[in-house]
Amino acid sequence: MMSTDTPTIVLVGHGMVGQRFLEALAERGLTATHRVVVLCEEPRPAYDRVRLTSYFSGRTPDELSLTDAGFIAAHGIELHLRDPAETIDRAARTVTARSGLTVAYDTLVLATGSVPFVPPVPGRDAEGCFVYRTIEDLLAIEEFAKARATTGAVVGGGLLGLEAAGALQGLGLATHIVEFAPRLMPAQVDEGGGAALLRTVRDLGLTVHTGTGTQEIVTGADGAVTGMRLSDGSELPTDLVVFSAGVRPRDRLARDTGLTVGERGGITVDERCRTSDPRVFAIGECALASDGRVYGLVAPGYEMAETAAATIAGTDAGFTGADLSTKLKLLGVDVASFGDAHGTTAGCLDVVYSDSRSGTYRKLVVGPDGELLGGILVGDADAYGTLRALTGSVPPIAPEHLVLPAGTGAPVALGPSALPDSAVVCSCHNVTKGTVRAAVTEHSRTTVPEVKKCTKAGTGCGSCVRVLGQLVDEELAAHGVEADHGLCGCFPQTREELYEIVLALRISSYQALLDRYGRPGARGGDGCEVCKPAVASVLASLAAVTGASGHVLDGEQAALQDTNDHFLANLQRNGSYSIVPRVPGGEITPEKLIVIGEVARDFGLYTKITGGQRIDLFGARVEQLPLIWARLVDAGFESGHAYGKALRTVKSCVGRTWCRYGVQDSVRMAIDLELRYRGLRSPHKLKSAVSGCARECAEARSKDFGVIATAGGWNLWVGGNGGATPRHADLLAQDLGDAELIRLIDRFLMFYIRTADRLERTSAWLERIPGGLGHVRDVVVHDSLGICEELDSLMAAHVRAYRDEWAETIRDPERLARFVSFVNAPGTPDPVVGFVPERDQIKPDLPLLAIGRRPLEGSAQR
């Protein structure tokens, strides 16, 4: 415990910048020499506000957290949640919180952030009006939208406005965007970029109103929102309004205590982030920097946090301004701007490439001497990392070649090697190319994760990770070290290369592949835990054309599988297994529901409806699995492949059959797709969905491939996923007929299986593969590589060869013999698998696990 005379640092606010300040204190040893007290208004510690919208794609508040509880405890930080600072007494040097807690400070740091600006229009406080700033705001919007709304409107077409619009659409609302400026994102893009963005956003099913403002929120007799009256005289019916018209610095505490505040808001600070009181600092969006700006981006806030911590530690530091470059994916559309994006420099020239068909717009601003001053990228921002780092220098190739798509005339490829060492490759943490090179050459970091840990590059917004990987490879090559991209220590080839070898030579076994193409030291061996399941997946994907056994429990294949595939079921935390029958499209007859209920009752299983429109049955012991599946197969069920790297489910809404908004039969299409791709083994699990209209109730744009109905057919979206790193899917093709839709999905899936790395989701693959979505579209739609016929035939072979794994297993005594807890006591159930009652069902008896698992003497555990 620190003594009473230990100096105290009080931090007001615990957002992203506040957390970075705490980390900077810890890095300088100040948490060991100072008492650190944090007063936080929100009910949760710092979280990733940049990725706030990913909550609507399945990311939980805990997954958004930036704060490790261990960090707070390890450094003795006193964190007070739901207890914001109310008053500051600078004479007494105390801060009083809402709870009445009063803390004396030696140093006070204000990181109070900003507040959303809500235009002073009549009705703005009506029920159904929200702002879009915190997790609690999102929870409130979600609850109201699900309970009472069918239409939503967003006031503001900037960064947060577009994110809010995407969230409302994802909640199933018909969504409008109202922007006072003549284009979307007016601060980031110019007229051309705004036009490209507008086309794409409208293609996504959102209605955009630009050049008009909000005059009044119209309410009904109950005081709830019924519409908006716009400045052009029109009225927009809506049940829900989200204000996202900008933010204002949160500087009330500073004003009340007499600190100097800018004329238009913001706490005035000097280059060391000190306010007019040298004992008080301000950082982040609440601060008016010495260059007269209030920075609304996280990277400048981080730099301010570093500056304040360094000043408190007594080291020389200064903040004189920051890079305002941004790269975002909004509504699935890449948008980036950097440098002097709007061309305000005297004598500058624009170099522009625009393709309205694909929604691509690229503009570079070039000085009279050829210096790259800035630029705007919409639709395709792959070059952002290199171009931003080149800003302020004369590029080694002509500007027109920097905006043209790959393969259309550039004499050389412009990569990170063209950057000077002083170029900043990670603006979030101000990491230069020279620092990255030093991590490789001086600190022996040879992989991107190692370099990220060493330099912090790539740990912020993530937009520089692609450039980071290229720099690491180039630096290794420059020192005669070839970057090893092999699958593992057993194979020097990538997964993609192994796929091509298996396909071309019709290799049908792992051992044959290892003996022929493995590294010399691995040949004749047993392989490893990395390559065995990866090669098993390749062999299963190509079994229909190589002649290998397609069943995962046959011969050598069985020994290659992960635990789940080994027993055709998902292993749960207490050693029991789950059963997930396939329910195509979520459509199920009463008779089949009764069978599932009877099986769950007779075997004492826990039952739960999943988010993918299936029924999970939990708690089966391994020896019960064949008995359960025998009954399910007899009732017409087949494996749902919840245990495999394969297609899981194709979710659907009820479509036009039942829904008054539906324009296509989404249930029928979902069933057709699920039955076509069932059992398709791939580098990672696959999820899909079909929505019957633009309200998107099936959440198709968060899936590996998603289908959304239009009046003219189907739109095909690819490369989306939820989970820890959510990503909206990209539009591959639109207004497709049934046959063309299925043909393009066939090709997309087979091209992905052919070229993806092990355990690589379609989302990561789409961002990694050279050329990205444009290249994939060229291959699967326009047949640019001339392989579509082969992709079609591979999928056709899979469809012909499909056999249900559980149906075949229960008919084969040899396969059934493996379903025992102990091989030398096959009738003995595992004594460690236990359950306790909860809510009229069962749950794992987890305390039993703490005793430890002890197999029966002389037995072989599974």
Cα distance between residue 79 and residue 45, in whole Å: 8
pLDDT at site 380 = 76
Q: Which of 284, 25, 243 is nearest to 130 (CA)?
A: 243
Cα distance between residue 30 and residue 49, in whole Å: 26
Q: Measure CA 187 to chain center.
A: 25
Beta-bridge partner residues of 714? 709, 736
Q: What is the DSSP letter of 492?
A: S
Asked whether residue 129 is marked as a ligand-binding residue, the answer is no
pLDDT at site 533 = 83
Calculate the alpha carbon distances from 836 to 122, 581, 618, 840 in Å: 56, 25, 13, 10
Weakest-pLDDT range from 569-573, 647-651, 776-780: 569-573
Q: Which CATH number fits domain 129-245: 1.10.10.10, 3.40.50.720, 3.50.50.60, 3.90.1010.10?
A: 3.50.50.60
Q: Categorize the per-residue pLDDT at 407 as very low, low, confident or very high, splitting at 50, 70 and 90.
A: very low
Asked whether residue 659 is marked as a ligand-binding residue, the answer is yes
| Mean pLDDT, residues 805-820 taken together | 88
Cβ neighbours of residue 147 closer than 8 Å, sequence gap 6 or more: none
pLDDT at site 331 = 67
Q: Which CATH number fits domain 8-115+249-312: 3.50.50.60, 2.40.10.10, 3.30.450.40, 1.10.150.120?
A: 3.50.50.60
> Which overall architecture, per CATH, does domain 567-801 show?
2-Layer Sandwich (3.30)
| Mean pLDDT, residues 14-43 taken together | 94
Q: Which of 113, 152, 110 is nearest to 280 (CA)?
A: 110
Q: Categorize the per-residue pLDDT at 824 as very low, low, confident or very high, splitting at 50, 70 and 90.
A: low
- Summarised one tens digit per residue, pLDDT across range 509-568 is 888 899 999 988 888 787 887 788 888 889 888 888 887 766 767 766 666 666 567 678
Topology of domain 323-414 in CATH is: Enolase-like; domain 1 (3.30.390)
Buried b / exposed e over 493-502, threshold 16 CB at 10 Å, is: bbbbbbbebb
Query: Do the domains 323-414 and 8-115+249-312 match in fold?
Result: no
Calculate the alpha carbon distances from 295 to 283, 289, 405, 633 in Å: 10, 8, 33, 61
- Summarised one tens digit per residue, pLDDT across range 436-473 is 888 888 887 877 777 887 888 776 666 677 777 778 87
Greater model confidence, 429 or 174: 174
Cα distance between residue 445 and residue 430, in whole Å: 19
For 715, the token pair is 């739109």
Asked whether residue 653 is marked as a ligand-binding residue, the answer is yes
**Residue that the structure tokens 């929102």 belong to:** 225
Sheet (strand 235-237) strand order? 214-219, 225-230, 235-237
Q: How are beta strands 280-282 and 333-339 bridged, if at all? A: unpaired
157 contacts 74 by C-beta, under 8 angstroms: no
- If residue 335 lies in a helix (H) or strand (E), which one and from where to where? strand 333-339
Greater model confidence, 72 or 410: 72
Asked whether residue 40 is marked as a ligand-binding residue, the answer is no
User: What is the domain partition of the chain in residue ranges?
Assistant: 8-115+249-312, 129-245, 323-414, 495-561, 567-801
Burial of 92 (0-12, 13-18, 19+ CB in 10 A): exposed
